[in-house]
Chains A and B, each alone.
Chain A
Amino acid sequence: MRFRASIENVNTFFRIIQAIEKLQKKCIIKFSEDVMCIICNSEANEGGIQVWSQIKVDSLFTSYRIQSNAANVITMALSSEALLATLRSASSSSSASASSYETEEIVMKLAKKNDQAVLSFEISGMTRQGRKVRVAHDVKIDVMKPADVANLKEPMCPEPDVHIILPPLQKLRPIVERLRPMSDFLAVRANNSGRLQLSIRTDSVTVDTEWKNCKNTSRAAAGSQDPDADAEQRDPEALFSVLVSTRSFFKFLNSHVVSTTTIACICQNHCMILYVYVGDLADAGGVLTFYIPGQLIDE
């Protein structure tokens, strides 16, 4: 089993892990020949939220080499916190790191130290005085057996009723932040003519926030299998709604640090799927897919 890569786009990697870390302290990363999949599927997650993401290897890494007996796929479970700390020290963006050196190269490789598998990060940099420094971080990992990997299954969802491009997540976040203390459940509604609503209803208050002129995307663009099913028969004004846990929706909004475009799909009264694109929609370096199951309380 061999694995080695240099991290080219450390800031993006850092932000992705930042969004993941808020959700789950341990995550699964599956490296294959051309994609890196980050999976958070713990049952204990708030409101049952899951993340299944695919990031193109090219968008983050260079000189990427991978070899394993399981069709050149390596799957590992690791602490997202430790990975984040490593990337923070490697990240050269001034806000994220307080490091006293400038990073020149980061090499990530699989290694074994004292019988413990680690993902070893070697950062070489230059101090302000012009001296060379080398910093190494080892993140403990558990390499997963192929049989366990085969058991990892993405949640099954019916064909979504509506696909809509969300307003910038930075704008959504403060609103959901206010709603969070008021209600545990948030209704998300959208229709096929660009309307999106976030609402809560409790004994003491009802709050509806509505956006008009959002864009709907064709089903094909969002990666669904049968694009034409019954698109014509649907009333474009009909609202489809799903009730989700406010806190898990807020956790999804933590991905605002990395998002450019986000497409929300609603399966009426069943679940919500959110595709957070990393990089441009056309030339997406990757997509984080959040599954938020619907809650069956009222409605």
Chain B
Amino acid sequence: MSQNGDDAEDAPLPPVLKASVHDVRYFAALLRGVNFVNRGTVTITKTGFVVMAEEARTLLGTAYIFADDSQNSDPDEDNAAFEIPLNTLIECLNIFGTAGYSASASGAGGTTGKYKKWKRAGEDSDQEGDEDDARGRRQSNGTARGIDSYFGSAAEKGTGMRMTYAGSGYPLTLLIAEDAAGPTTTCEITTYEAEPHLQLPFEPDRMQGKPVSPVKSTHQLRTQSSWLRDALSELDPSCDKLTFIGNPPPATNGKQRRLADATPMLRIQAAGTFGSTEMDYPNDRDVLETFECTRPVSFSYRFGHISRTLRAMQSSTKTSLRIDDGGLMSLQFLMPSPRAKTEVAADAFIEFRCLALDDELG
């Protein structure tokens, strides 16, 4: 077997992609979010790269990873694309067992949800909670899972990774090292020619003309990410249909409460063989940061598809959910990034687009 970790750089052609990260966990968390089918398409652009995966021509998951100073990506040709087995890529990143599942869902501190604290204390004991430092503890309030172990251990050195891709037909080469003294791993993952993906354009025009966006979340949605996650993980896995019902927020007057009781602003309804579940979200700033909805809507989705997004949701910090006129749902998850210091680079995020079930359209 060959060991040409460095050969790729010696090759006459300059590589199409060169990237490096200090800590593979963030990168691995992003890839895991879209790892609902094995084959993903990676598109390299000037600003970073995009990983896409689709299922049943209905669900499209896209992870946007932007280059910042911790990564250096200098593609020569724009939009080079290849397909890659995501499972293998993630396993390779996790070769030292350091790209663990406990990806963070902690954003900037602020909203504290005391009602969740007990849950966290329970988690704490079986994760590496002892390592929590004060900062981790402060940020952890209000988020349920895994977060703090993540930030608590941020002090310890992460596993670094360097990635090169020489161009079409070449493998993706990863060089992973834990520290200078430890072992280094060279992975060469076979790439395949990219195939065209499902196009699901989300129409912002339609949203403005005849705006139908039950929830549009813009800022400080850390609590919301966990709110949605908790709601969905509560559902029985045997459910097959999930309906999102949105109603315009009631006018702010004295009758608000009574109206809100009558028509919930946001209701999630799950139906399956063994019964159905309804969950209403209250009109509460703590729960829904922003909420826009112009006329009542109701769209159903296959639960199997929505549950595909859970993995990304679990490690995300903020969630935005939009539904357009035709029922196309766009779920955006803001993913944690190593440091907040970079003003230039945008935060990485994962977007899912899912088509509504047809029978509800009539």
Interface string of A201-228 (1 = CB under 8 A from B): 1011111111101000000000000000
Name the one of A181, A204, A209 contacting B95, with C-beta atoms under 8 angstroms.
A209
Q: Report the stretch among A103-111, A172-180, A246-254 that lies at the interface.
A: A172-180
**B contact residues around A174 at 8 Å (CB):** 95-97
B88 located at the interface, meaning its Cβ lies under 8 Å from any Cβ of chain A in the complex:
yes
A197 located at the interface, meaning its Cβ lies under 8 Å from any Cβ of chain B in the complex:
yes
Interchain nearest-CB distance for A176 vs B (Å): 10
Interchain nearest-CB distance for B194 vs A (Å): 16
A284 located at the interface, meaning its Cβ lies under 8 Å from any Cβ of chain B in the complex:
no
Could you tell me how many residues of chain A have their Cβ less than 8 Å away from some Cβ of chain B?
Answer: 24
Name the one of B5, B182, B189 contacting A204, with C-beta atoms under 8 angstroms.
B189
Interface string of B88-105 (1 = CB under 8 A from A): 100110111100000000
B2 located at the interface, meaning its Cβ lies under 8 Å from any Cβ of chain A in the complex:
yes
**A contact residues around B58 at 8 Å (CB):** none
Interface string of B191-229 (1 = CB under 8 A from A): 000000000000000000000000000000000000000
- Chain A residue at smallest Cβ distance from B88: A205
A182 located at the interface, meaning its Cβ lies under 8 Å from any Cβ of chain B in the complex:
yes
User: Assuming the A-B contacts A178-B94, A204-B189, are A187 and B184 also in contact, with contact meaning beta carbons closer than 8 angstroms in the complex?
Assistant: no
**A contact residues around B190 at 8 Å (CB):** 203-205
User: Assuming the A-B contacts A177-B97, A187-B1, are A211 and B88 also in contact, with contact meaning beta carbons closer than 8 angstroms in the complex?
Assistant: no
Q: Which of A149-185 contact B (CB under 8 A)?
A: 167, 171, 174-175, 177-179, 181-182
**A contact residues around B91 at 8 Å (CB):** 178, 181-182
Interface of B is mostly: loop
- Chain A residue at smallest Cβ distance from B91: A178
C-alpha spacing A35/B115, complex, angstroms: 61
**A contact residues around B85 at 8 Å (CB):** 204-205
C-alpha spacing A167/B92, complex, angstroms: 20
**A contact residues around B1 at 8 Å (CB):** 187, 199, 201, 206, 208, 299
**B contact residues around A206 at 8 Å (CB):** 1-2, 171, 186-189
User: B92 and A210: CB pair below 8 A?
Assistant: no
Interchain nearest-CB distance for B336 vs A (Å): 23
**B contact residues around A203 at 8 Å (CB):** 190
C-alpha spacing A167/B85, complex, angstroms: 30
- Chain B residue at smallest Cβ distance from A199: B1
B3 located at the interface, meaning its Cβ lies under 8 Å from any Cβ of chain A in the complex:
yes
Q: Which of B151-178 contact A (CB under 8 A)?
A: 171
Interchain nearest-CB distance for B144 vs A (Å): 27
C-alpha spacing A253/B96, complex, angstroms: 15
Interchain nearest-CB distance for B229 vs A (Å): 27
Q: Which of A242-299 contact B (CB under 8 A)?
A: 299
User: B97 and A210: CB pair below 8 A?
Assistant: no
User: A208 and B5: CB pair below 8 A?
Assistant: yes
User: B183 and A209: CB pair below 8 A?
Assistant: yes
B43 located at the interface, meaning its Cβ lies under 8 Å from any Cβ of chain A in the complex:
no
**A contact residues around B184 at 8 Å (CB):** 209-210
C-alpha spacing A17/B186, complex, angstroms: 36
User: B88 and A182: CB pair below 8 A?
Assistant: yes
User: A208 and B186: CB pair below 8 A?
Assistant: yes
**B contact residues around A205 at 8 Å (CB):** 85, 88, 92, 187-190
B269 located at the interface, meaning its Cβ lies under 8 Å from any Cβ of chain A in the complex:
no
B263 located at the interface, meaning its Cβ lies under 8 Å from any Cβ of chain A in the complex:
no
User: A207 and B3: CB pair below 8 A?
Assistant: no
**B contact residues around A213 at 8 Å (CB):** 181
User: A210 and B3: CB pair below 8 A?
Assistant: yes
**B contact residues around A201 at 8 Å (CB):** 1
Interchain nearest-CB distance for B38 vs A (Å): 10
User: A209 and B188: CB pair below 8 A?
Assistant: no
11 cross-chain CB contacts under 8 A: A175-B96, A175-B183, A177-B97, A182-B88, A199-B1, A205-B85, A205-B188, A205-B190, A206-B189, A209-B185, A210-B186
**Interface pairs A-B: 7 shortest CB-CB:** A174-B97, A206-B188, A209-B185, A211-B183, A208-B186, A207-B187, A201-B1
